[in-house]
Structure formats: C-alpha cells, structure tokens
Amino acid sequence: MKATDLTLSHLSLAALAALLPALATAQSLTSPEIESRIDELLGRMTLEEKVGQMNQYASFQDMTGPAPEEGSARERYEQIGQGLVGSMLNVLGAEATRRAQELAVEKSRLGIPLLFGYDVIHGYRTIFPVPLGEAASWDLEAIEASARVAATEAAAAGVHWTFAPMLDIARDARWGRIMEGAGEDPYLGSMIATARVRGFQGTDLSALDTVAACAKHYAGYGFAEGGRDYNTVDISEQTLRNVVLPPFHAAAEAGVATFMNSFNEIGGVPATASVHLQREILKGEWGFEGFVVSDWGSIGELRAHGVAADLSEAARLAVVAGSDMDMESGAYVGHLAALVESGAVEEALVDEAVRRILRIKFRLGLFDDPYRYSDPEREERVLSNEAHRATARDVARKSIVLLKNEGGLLPLRKQGGTIAVIGPLAADKDAPLGSWRGQGAVDSAVSLLEGIRAAVGTDTRVLHAEGMTLIAGTRDFGVAPVFAEDDRSGFPAAVEAARQADVVVVALGEGAFQTGEGRSQVDIGLKGLQDELLREVRKANRNVVVVLMAGRPLVIPWMAENVPAIVNAWLLGSEAGHAIADVLFGDHNPSGKLPATFPRHAGQIPLYYAHKNTGRPATDSVFTSRYIDMPNEPLYPFGFGLSYTTFELSAPRLSATEMNPGEALEITTTVKNTGTRSGAEVVQLYVRDLVGSVTRPVKELKGFERVTVAPGESKDVTFTLSAADLAFYTAAGEWEAEPGDFQVFVGSSSRDVKDARFTLK
C-alpha cells in the first residue's frame, strides 16, 4: 500500500497516483535561488571556515553522550567567534541560543548563523507518549499532531533541528532504544516516519512552528547482537533493504532535512564510515539533498572499531563515506583542513558537505533572521499553552493497548464502591515522562492515582498503597540502575487496601530510565519485588486490573495467566494519569494495537510476526524449527489489542483472483461490531508471497485502516493493492514484484486473520 519505496520504472499507475499527494506536500530542499546564494557564500569561505561548518559541538547544559575528550565550554564558545563551529547541540532556551548565535553572527568573519539541534523525541516541554507507545495508536494524524506540538514548543525555545524521528526497526525488546522507534514492522514504521517528518517539518521549514527533522540512526542500529546497545550488527543486504531501510526511504521521500548515521558496524563496516549506506544508497539511489550528521562521537569511535588508527584517519574515512557533520568528535575541525592540504581528501568533498549544511540553514530562514527562533517572550507563551496538554492526552489514550479483559472487568464504574490503587508506579509523577523527555520538568506528569481521583465521583472511595518502591535508574548516564530492593514492609498495607476494595488497580512496570540509550537488559520481566507484590494482592482480591507501564514489551507470563485485566500503558507522558483513567472508566474505548511482539520468554527473542517459514516449519515433530520447552508463539502478537466491544471481520472478498502488473486489486472485508458499545477497530491487511527468488516472510503488513463502528452496525473496509505494493529486493538486486501466487489476509492482529488467494501475472 505504500508506493514510496519504488523506483519510477516499477510504479504502476495506481501506485503513482497514490504517491502524488505525498510528493505534493514534501518540500524539495533545493531551489535555484538558494543554490546560487550558497555558490556565492562558498566562494568567499576559507578552507578552515568550510570545515567549521561541518563541526558540531555540544554545550555543557544537557549532556547526552560521553564527555568530550578535550575543549572547555569557554574554548568552544571562542571557536564559534572564529567561524570554526557550524552547529551546537543541547543549547537550551531562547536566551541561551540568542547569546550563542550572537557569537556566530557578530563575531565570526562571515557571520554564518549556527544551527541548534536537540533531541526532541516525544515532546519538548509537553511530553507525549514514548514513540513506541504512540506507534501503538496506529493513528497517523495523532502522531503527526504530536510531532507538530513538539516542533512548535522546540522552535519557540530556539531549537532549529530535532534529532528525530528515530526510525530503527527493533525486534529485540532487550534493546533499551526500542522505546524510541515505531516497533518491529517496516510498513508501519514507514507510515509513521512520514507522519513524524510531516509533523516536525510541516510544509515550510522557515515557519515558526516547524523544525528540521533527522532520520536516525542510519542504519541497522536496532539489530545489535544480543540486544546490547552499540553492539555489532551483521545483517544481509536482503534484511537491510527489505526491513531496515524502508522507513528511512519513506522519510527521505517525505523531504526530511537530515539523517544521522549510527554507532554500530554493519557487516564489518561502521555505519559512520559506510560508503554503501551514505553515498551509494542515501545520496545516490535516493537522491537525498539534505545532510548527514554523525552520531555523538561516532567518527572518533572509528578508532575503537578498529578501522582507523587515529582521529585524522577517522576524519578521512567519515568524510569520504559521506558523513557531512561531525557531532562531538572534533575530528573534522582538528584534521580535515590538513587532509585536504595534503591531498588525502579532495576539497570537493568538503564543498559538497558544506553546501548541504548551508542549504538547510537557508531553508530554515536563518540567513534572513538568525534570531527568528530565539524570542523569550514567544518561548514563555508557547511553552505554557494548555492546548498542548489536551493534544497530549488525546494521543496518550489512543496509545493504550488493552491486552486482557476477562469477564468484562473493565471499564470500571465511576460512581460508588472502593478502588484500591496500588504499586510502585501508581503515584509516580516522573516515570511516565520516560527517557529523552526534552525539557519536561521532573515529576510533572499526571500520575495514575491523580488521574483516577480526578475521574471518579465523590461517592467513590479511592485507597492508595505503594506496596514497594522501584529503584529504576536515573537520568544521569553515568549511574547504573539498581533493582535489588528487598523491602517488603509496604506489602501489608497494600494487601489490606486490596481486601477493602471492590477492584484493585495495580501499576507495575519500568521506571523512566530503564529504556532509552544505553539501557539494554537481559531480563525484561518485572524487576524487583513487583511480581511478588502482584501475587499477594491477587490473593487478597481477584478483581485486579494491572496497568503496565514500560518503554518496551515486557515478559509477563504469570500476570497474563492469573490477572483478569491488563492495560498496557507504556510511558504516556505529561497527561498519563488522565489518559489511563479515560480508558479505565470507559470515557475512551481503547483501540491501540501492539507495534511490537510481546514474547513469552526473553529466550524467544528475536521474535516478530514477519518471520520466514524455514525449511522445517514448527509442528509436533521434534525435527522442526521449535523449542522443546516453550511454544514458538508470542504472548501477544504484533497488531494485537482489545476493545470494550467486539468485532467480527468477514473473510476477504477480492475484486479479481488474477492481477496484471498495471492493475490494482481491491480487497474488502466487512467489520461488524458484535458488542454493545461503539468502538474503533484497526483493520489490518497482510500478504504472503508464496514463492520468491529469495525467501519471503510468512506475513507482511501492507495496509491498515481505523474504522469506528456502532453496536450492531457493519461497515466495509476496502484496501487497494497494486503490484508495486508487492515489490521487494529480489535475488537480482532489483526492487520489484515477482509474478506468482499470493495469500492475502485481513484481520484484527497479525494472528487473528482470514485469508484468500490471488495470482500476480
């Protein structure tokens, strides 16, 4: 259903038509006027000044990586005045950015403005759900709206450029950064990539409510061996092209201004030094016109990877490979001019990189008014905008996934009775903000307890008992989390509250900094005494609703078996408590669907729905691809999520059973609401290419649509598939569809599907 991964020669007419609206909104990054202004400026720049544009330093305001090897804040700010710095990251606020900008504009010879970058990952001041959570909404409009609010706030605080969206496909929940992306699927990931780029960038980078976006981490970062951050990646060109790259390509098609390369090596070549990724694919095949920034210190890390003997060699490898800006290695500013002077690097490579960087500065309007984003009065006004909280609440409740609801325990009554609210995360006002929370203030989220108290009537008794505390890490990157608490002294009060209540809401999961960068875990079950607390509470009262908060899928076999209701609430941001209460009390009927598989056991990882069939697909026989101690199936599959109503989907009806390459096929299913409430179902379309020149996944998502259906009502949902939608990176190294038989599935998850067949001629 997405035509953007295709070269024009492979596009069918239908796919081309589908592509046109996207092309109309994507902005070209070049224009004749801008290019001639760049020509003029480049002509006046010394080699040192050019290299300066390729240099990015961090301020010391908010450290998001290891401390620099050399250079004090004072020295760095002096270098700005010398024209040796093109961009700064982590300079925060209208005042601070204005002061730094003055150094560049007033002091440096050519007065080229600085570009200010910051990680605005899920909000700047108003914090939205962690990106994995938002992805569970499968609601592209809501996701775009979230990115726009983030852009509006960031731009008002002097930020020009966000290091988002993070587009790494992640199929390993041990990897802490799974929280930053859209989950395991390239199609969903591509749609969300486009929505986020549009949200951040709008249609005009110079507008005051947009920022330049950055597609990261390019590429393969999510495939780290063992789920351990920064670890080796070794994937095939097939996996790279068919799984990892589609969201990046979608972002490029949507006009994303920048890319960030990744820390990992891939097939023996660190991504930062990869000619294949940066020059051949990104700038060559895709014609990307923005610039590539390195990740924090990743050019310097080429030494540790063992491909460069020293920083000079690292600089040479990176610039040759197409890394245009050096974040925090000091490699370019320290060595590039000498490399050019000695003939080791062609000056044309430097010129090209600088052209790309200046292009984005022109697009942002910085040459017209370098201070346009640094207005303290506007910052104050925009950052206290209450409407942003309303958007955050809306996105947050749409992100919630109902995993279990036995006996219709949910929704709860607002009037009368006693609700016990228990658990280490119940009153936590900080955990829901998650990692990468921008300038979201500490303890500024609405807690679950507050949300429940605000929702219920005066005749409802709300009891609260923490039960235990969760020591779950801090924001400080230097401190390792400790989970070894053994204090059960809060258990009796929790059990007593459960006994007195009609229903118990237990908030469990992970702290804010258990996911995020450098936060990989081998054990992704409930840490500490949480499982034990849950068992005790469950003994006292069977009516248990678990509200699970985490930035990753958790392994929760006992809970899934023994607790009647589970609400997966991720880390939902500033409005978390209100959003969860909206769902608990039925003011919002949940419709979120998992963007990543929940395994039964971490030993099953990597576990994802779009796996290959293997030569020996699992049966009861031992000589098949299975474990002897556990089923292959996950606990909750990709695309899964319940509602307070029930839906029935009909088998797919096809407009034809044969499809000619230039034609489109229509697939229709009837969705019937068989329950008693109105609700929204996310209807999913999958295909399986039965025989290919290379092995194909057993299912691949190709479309989805949200449909709201009233009780007793039926609605048709029709998907259109063209040959282009069936294309993949073939054995011949072409992106094309191969003729043959296909299975097509419609369903409410990747598991619960009905199918039909057709043949592509």
CB of 466 to ligand BGC, least distance (A): 33
**Contact call for residue 119 and ligand BGC (CB under 6 A):** yes
Taking the C-alpha atoms of residue 394 and residue 583, their distance in angstroms, rounded to an integer, is 11
Q: Are 646 and 692 in contact (CB under 8 A)?
A: no
Residue recorded with tokens 């607390």: 533
Pick from 216, 359, 388, 593: which binds ligand BGC (CB under 6 A)? 216
List, edge to edge, every strand of the sheet that includes 87-89: 161-162, 115-118, 87-89, 55-58, 326-327
CB of 229 to ligand BGC, least distance (A): 9
Residue 295 is among the residues annotated as catalytic for this protein? yes
152 or 258, CB closer to ligand BGC?
Answer: 258
CB of 517 to ligand BGC, least distance (A): 6
Dihedrals φ, ψ of 314, to 5°? -60, -45
CB of 298 to ligand BGC, least distance (A): 8
Taking the C-alpha atoms of residue 417 and residue 457, their distance in angstroms, rounded to an integer, is 10
Letters for 518-557 (x = contact with ligand BGC by CB under 6 A, - = none) are ----------------------------------------
CB of 174 to ligand BGC, least distance (A): 17
For residue 602, give the DSSP letter: G
Q: Are 199 and 26 in contact (CB under 8 A)?
A: no
176 or 639, CB closer to ligand BGC?
Answer: 176
30 or 64, CB closer to ligand BGC?
Answer: 64
217 or 429, CB closer to ligand BGC?
Answer: 217
Among 176, 90, 100, 180, smallest CA distance to 133 is for: 180
Distance from first CA to last CA of the chain, Å, rounded?
18
216 or 588, CB closer to ligand BGC?
Answer: 216
Residue nearest to ligand BGC (CB): 64
- Amino acid residing at 334: G
Q: Which of residues 85-104 bind ligand BGC (CB under 6 A)?
A: 89
Tokens of 132: 């994995």
Within a 13 Å sphere around the CA of 335, how many CA atoms are in the beta-carbon half?
A: 19
Pick from 27, 30, 64, 693: which binds ligand BGC (CB under 6 A)? 64
Tokens of 401: 């996934």
Instruction: Output the CA torsion 579→584→587→588 (10° steps).
Output: 60
CB of 104 to ligand BGC, least distance (A): 20
* Helix 331-341 with 311-321: angle, nearest 10 deg: 80
Q: Which of residues 353-412 bind ligand BGC (CB under 6 A)?
A: none
CB of 648 to ligand BGC, least distance (A): 43
65 or 123, CB closer to ligand BGC?
Answer: 65
Pick from 517, 582, 689, 725: which binds ligand BGC (CB under 6 A)? 517
**Contact call for residue 183 and ligand BGC (CB under 6 A):** no
| Count of residues that interact with ligand BGC, criterion CB under 6 A | 9
**Contact call for residue 295 and ligand BGC (CB under 6 A):** yes
Burial 311-323 (b: 16+ CB within 10 A, else e): bbbbbbbbbbbbb
- Long-range contact pairs involving 16-20 (C-beta distance under 8 Å, separation at least 24): 18/720, 18/722
300 or 641, CB closer to ligand BGC?
Answer: 300
E strands, 21-95, are 55-58, 87-89
User: Which of the residues 295, 428, 430, 689 is marked catalytic?
Assistant: 295
CB of 233 to ligand BGC, least distance (A): 14
291 or 745, CB closer to ligand BGC?
Answer: 291
- Long-range contact pairs involving 40-45 (C-beta distance under 8 Å, separation at least 24): 41/110, 41/112, 41/358, 42/351, 42/354, 42/355, 42/358, 44/110, 45/110, 45/354
Q: Which of residues 147-176 bind ligand BGC (CB under 6 A)?
A: 163
Q: Are 730 and 10 in contact (CB under 8 A)?
A: no
Binding residues vs ligand BGC (CB under 6 A):
64-65, 89, 119, 163, 216, 295-296, 517
The residues carrying an active-site annotation are 295
